[in-house]
Amino acid sequence: MMSTKIKAESIYRIYKVRNVEGDNSHITNHNGHEGLLALDNVNLEIKQGEFVALVGPSGCGKSTFLDILGGLATPNSGDIYIDGKPVKGPGLDRGIVFQGYALFPWRTIQHNIEFGLEIKGIPKNERKDIALKYLKLVGLEGFENRYPYELSGGMKQRVAIARALAFDPEILLMDEPFGALDAQTREVLQIELLRIWEETHKTIVFVTHSIDEAIFLADRVVIMTARPGKIKSDIRIDLPRPRLEGDLKSSPEFARYRHELWELLRDEVDKAEEQASENIRGAAAHQEEKPAAAWQPQKQSAV
């Protein structure tokens, strides 16, 4: 039996927001924290070496959850455990690939990849060897002396993955890493990521908007509800591995998963859309109120 790598226990996250007059529908109070409830009792267990995809409508709290797993944000209540130990902050046991590449533009590709290694205190020569090794792993040999601005989006994404892998974290947290790429590059990188995962046996949490991507990559697809984010369902993907061949996506099993996930997700996407249009209406109503609000002090001073 594989051991539990990550455990999220009743995670709540409330963002402090400026109170918009008239519209308090999204403001909640939880244990004395008042604000916008982004995560509402999220519980999740991920096994060592598992590839878990996290899907959900925009604004449902996926990035928020990933930040908490990464130790970059703290939940208002609840705990994250890695290997049974509570997470206190960021650490080199977790590598994060951010939504947008977040490469340092002032560093060459090689030195970008070396960043985590510098913090680990690895000597210069060794750092270089490691950086070149991971650059090769993501198929960018010979680009070590380039700067990020000289690379295409797909290449930057590969560097970001190499950088997160280079300090050898046990867990890889990836936030829509392929979201900004064209379909072909995306497919190539999906296959490459699977190859790397199979080579390195990392535990991966992968946020995506694409159901196809989630099914193709993951052992499990976790679906989140519209805000406030809860876990709606947790679907095991029993497709054979290695999934390196292209026609898997046109197989009947794949279509069945796609249908099942889409049925589950559809309501949440609708709900999120409703929330968004309510926000727009709320904002519009708020604007209409403004002149009236400007009136009031005058009236009062007249009294």
Ligand X SMILES: Nc1ncnc2c1ncn2[C@@H]1O[C@H](COP(=O)(O)OP(=O)(O)OP(=O)(O)O)[C@@H](O)[C@H]1O
74 lines the binding site for Mg ion (CB under 5 A): no
User: Residue 69 and residue 82: Cα distance in Å, rounded?
Assistant: 9
Binding mask 223-262 for ligand X (x = CB under 6 A): ----x-----------------------------------
C-beta of 108 vs 279, nearer to ligand X: 279
Angle at 212 between CA 211 and CA 215, to 5 degrees: 85
Angle at 28 between CA 82 and CA 226, to 5 degrees: 65
| Piece of 61-69, 116-124, 133-141, 144-152 that binds ligand X (CB under 6 A) | 61-69
Restricting to residues 63-82, which ones interact with ligand X according to CB under 6 A?
Answer: 63-64
Please state the separation of Cα 229 from the chain's center in Å. 13
63 lines the binding site for Mg ion (CB under 5 A): yes
User: Residue 34 and residue 183: Cα distance in Å, rounded?
Assistant: 42
Could you say which DSSP state residue 170 is in? S
Q: What is the side-by-side order of every strand in the sheet holding 220-224?
A: 94-97, 171-175, 203-207, 51-55, 220-224, 231-236
User: Residue 227 and residue 279: Cα distance in Å, rounded?
Assistant: 13
C-beta of 146 vs 209, nearer to Mg ion: 209
Minimum separation from the CB atom of position 202 to another protein (A):
15
> For binding to another protein (CB under 8 A), which residues are involved?
70, 72, 90-92, 94-96, 98, 100, 102, 104-108, 115-116, 118-120, 147-149, 167
Minimum separation from the CB atom of position 138 to another protein (A):
17
C-beta of 77 vs 200, nearer to ligand X: 77
- Interface with ligand X (CB under 6 A): 15, 17, 36, 38, 56, 58-64, 227
